Amino acid sequence: MFQKMEYQIIVEKPSLEKIETLGLDSWSFWECEPSKFDWEYSSEETAYILKGKVLVTPENGEPVEINAGDLVVFPAGLKCTWEVIEKIEKKYKFN
């Protein structure tokens, strides 16, 4: 029997000191207008949300609300649906 995999999205509100140590200037930039789409992470992604609001619903889990100012880690292997509620802008890097 196959075991159901649980993929946890980690969301935190980082301190200004932590933000400064992340090196966001070297991270890639991405933006998206309100929309809904499926996504799969082939590798772990760390993202800092500059503006906007999104609901990310893992394939076998509960929706996670992500907002401006959040630092988020999406695990490798995560299959999910993104619902962009307010235009999102983020800086991100793959680990």
Helix (DSSP H) and strand (DSSP E) numbers for the chain: 1, 7
User: What domain range includes position 37?
Assistant: 10-94
Helices (H), the chain: 16-21
pLDDT in tens, the chain (95 residues): 455 556 799 999 999 999 999 999 999 999 999 999 999 999 999 999 999 999 999 998 899 999 999 999 999 999 999 999 999 999 999 98
In CATH, what number is assigned to the domain containing residue 71?
A: 2.60.120.10
- Count the domains in the chain: 1
Domain membership flag for residue 23: yes
Count Cβ atoms below 10 Å from residue 39 Cβ, excluding itself: 12
Helix (H, G, I), strand (E, B) or coil at 26: helix
Residue 48 burial (CB < 10 Å; 0-12/13-18/19+)? buried
